Amino acid sequence: MTDLTTLKLYATRPHACSYLPGEDATTVFIDPTASIDAAVYSDLSRYGFRRSGSHVYRPHCETCHACIPIRLLTQEFKPNRAQKRCQKTNSDLSITFVDSIDTDEHYSVYERYINDRHSDGDMFPPSRGQYTDFLTAEWGATRYIEMRSAEGELLAVAVTDFLDHGLSAVYSFFSPQAAKRSLGSFAVLHQIQLAQEKKLPYLYLGYWIRKCQKMSYKTLFQPYQVMVGQNWVTVTDKPPEVASKMQLL
| Residue range 71-229 in CATH 3.40.630.30 | yes
pLDDT in tens, 184-212: 999 999 999 999 999 999 999 999 999 89
* pTM metric for this prediction: 0.92
Question: What average pLDDT is seen over the chain?
Answer: 92
H helical segments located in 10-90: 38-46, 81-89
pLDDT in tens, 3-39: 788 999 999 999 899 889 889 999 999 999 999 999 9
Q: Domain residues of the chain, as ranges?
A: 71-229
Q: Which of 229, 221, 143, 230 is nearest to 182 (CA)?
A: 221
Residue 59 to residue 3: CA distance in whole angstroms: 21
Residue 68 to residue 221: CA distance in whole angstroms: 16
Give pLDDT < 70 ranges for the chain.
Answer: 1-2, 237-249
